[in-house]
């Protein structure tokens, strides 16, 4: 099969390759990939940003989102069958959706939303799971609370806006002013044009902030929170809870706490909290999210699609930071 593999860490480390079909374990399903989508996480893994924590052995196939059709099921799989149309974010250390086929643990798989095409469904798993895990599992967002979502025009931001609104929150976002109408249509109550305005001068008393930019933007985000509020960063810096999530020994968390000491200290001084977030695979949550897509509470936001043989071009396009939604690569 054709696939795109990371031969070495770095920007030029991804290449096309011919590989044998994946081995299907007893708890796995073999999926013929119809489409995969690109996430910032793909470039971070390709560049080796998590290589001390996620021990991928090169060469490995890249890609974290997939939608496709099951062509084989493992001997222990009872709830899925051949010809089922599914979507998934395969678990860490078993990624590899930039390929014609992938073997996925059944626990990471769900039937795709019936209202979405396979190409649309491929845009959903990682960002939908991330939105659910930050808003529901971590922040416990309730009706009437105030949520700030940075970079609302992106794939993650546009999904978090929709889910936060579904949960009954008052939602603000930062974006280019040209995207205001589109983001209001997704559910944003306030759109701060970052090209003209400093969000920290306009927003205050927020319960929760999701930051995907890091650096100074994250530091300023702390100032718009009410006492006891929570800021979650997906661009870092990581903390010791990340090491615990990955099942690493206690001592592995110590250098991560060192890396995040400045922002955690700033949060403590503000009377608020900071946490790093790294989403995890969950077929059960994808089943729950499928019902929200089918009910119209959520909808995928796609920027554009690329054919599979232009995967490198698609990745480069995402790295430019101009995509308004998800970028999908298609194999059919």
- Rounded CA gap, 243 and 245, in Å? 5
Reference 188, options 161, 209, 211; nearest CA is 161
Domains located in the chain, CATH noted: 2-124+300-330 (3.90.180.10), 126-276 (3.40.50.720)
Q: From residue 76, how far is each of 73, 186, 309 by CA, in Å?
A: 8, 41, 34
3-state SS track over the chain: CEEEEECCCCCCCEEEEECCCCCCCCCEEEEEEEEEEECHHHHHHHCCCCCCCCCCCCCEECCCCEEEEEEEECCCCCCCCCCCEEEECCCCCCCCCCECEEEEEHHHEEECCCCCCHHHHCCCHHHHHHHHHHHHHHCCCCCCCEEEECCCCCHHHHHHHHHHHHCCCEEEEEECHHHHHHHHHHCCCEEEECCCCCHHHHCCCEEEEEECCCHHHHHHHHCCEEEEEEEEECCCCCCHHHHHHCCCCHHHHHHHHHHCHHHHHHHHHHCCEEEECCCCCCHHHHHHHHHHHHCCCCCCCEEEEEEHHHHHHHHHHHHCCCCCCEEEEECC
- Rounded CA gap, 287 and 230, in Å? 27
Reference 154, options 124, 175, 181; nearest CA is 175
Reference 152, options 139, 163, 141; nearest CA is 163
Question: Do the strands 109-111 and 101-105 form a parallel or antiparallel pair, or are they unpaired?
Answer: unpaired
**For the chain, how long is the longest CA-to-CA vector?**
59
Give the residue ranges of the chain where pLDDT is below 70. none
What pLDDT, on the 0 to 100 scale, is given for residue 261? 92
What pLDDT, on the 0 to 100 scale, is given for residue 277? 94
What pLDDT, on the 0 to 100 scale, is given for residue 69? 98
Look up residue 73 and give its two tokens. Answer: 């099921």
For 234, half-sphere exposure in the C-beta direction (CA atoms, 13 angstrom radius) is 25
Q: What is the pLDDT of residues 165-202, one digit of tens each?
A: 999 999 999 999 999 999 999 999 999 999 999 999 99
Q: CA angle, 50 as apex, 17 and 282 as ends, to 5°?
A: 80
Q: What is the pLDDT of residues 236-276, one digit of tens each?
A: 788 888 878 878 777 778 888 888 999 999 999 999 999 99
Burial class of residue 269, CB neighbours in 10 A (0-12, 13-18, 19+):
exposed
What pLDDT, on the 0 to 100 scale, is given for residue 242? 83
User: Torsion angle, CA of 210/67/13/306, rounded to 10 degrees?
Assistant: -90
User: Torsion angle, CA of 157/270/268/226, rounded to 10 degrees?
Assistant: -50
What pLDDT, on the 0 to 100 scale, is given for residue 46? 97
**Cβ(181)–Cβ(199) under 8 Å?**
no
- Rounded CA gap, 286 and 239, in Å? 26
């Amino acid at each position: 099969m054709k696939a795109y593999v990371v031969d070495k860490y770095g920007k030029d480390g991804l290449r096309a390759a011919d590989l044998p079909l994946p081995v299907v374990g007893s708890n796995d399903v073999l999926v013929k990939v119809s489409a995969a989508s690109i996430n910032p996480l793909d470039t971070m893994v390709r560049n080796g940003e998590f290589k001390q924590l996620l021990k991928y052995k090169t060469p490995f196939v890249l890609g974290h989102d997939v939608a496709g059709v099951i062509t084989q099921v493992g001997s222990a799989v009872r709830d899925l069958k051949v010809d089922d149309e599914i979507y998934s974010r395969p678990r860490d250390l078993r990624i590899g959706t930039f390929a014609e086929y992938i073997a996925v643990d059944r626990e990471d798989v769900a039937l795709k939303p019936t209202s979405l095409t396979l190409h649309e469904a491929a845009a959903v798993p990682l960002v939908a799971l991330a939105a659910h895990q930050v808003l529901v599992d971590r922040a416990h967002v309730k009706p009437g609370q105030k949520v700030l979502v940075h970079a609302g025009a992106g794939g993650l931001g546009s999904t978090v806006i929709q889910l936060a609104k579904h949960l009954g929150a008052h939602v603000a976002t930062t974006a280019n002013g040209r995207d205001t109408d589109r983001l209001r249509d997704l559910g944003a109550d306030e759109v701060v044009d970052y090209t003209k305005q400093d969000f920290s001068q306009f927003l205050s008393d927020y319960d929760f902030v999701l930051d995907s930019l890091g650096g100074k933007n994250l530091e300023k985000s702390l100032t718009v929170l009410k006492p006891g509020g929570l800021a979650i960063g997906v661009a870092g810096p990581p903390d010791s809870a990340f090491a615990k999530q990955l099942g690493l020994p206690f001592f592995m968390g110590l250098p991560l706490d060192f890396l995040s000491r400045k922002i955690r200290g700033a949060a403590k001084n503000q009377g608020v909290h900071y946490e790093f977030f790294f989403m995890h695979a969950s077929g059960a949550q994808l089943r729950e999210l499928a019902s929200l897509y089918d009910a119209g509470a959520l909808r995928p936001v796609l920027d554009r699609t690329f054919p599979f043989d232009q995967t490198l071009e698609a990745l480069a396009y995402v790295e430019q930071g101009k995509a308004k939604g998800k970028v999908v690569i298609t194999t059919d």
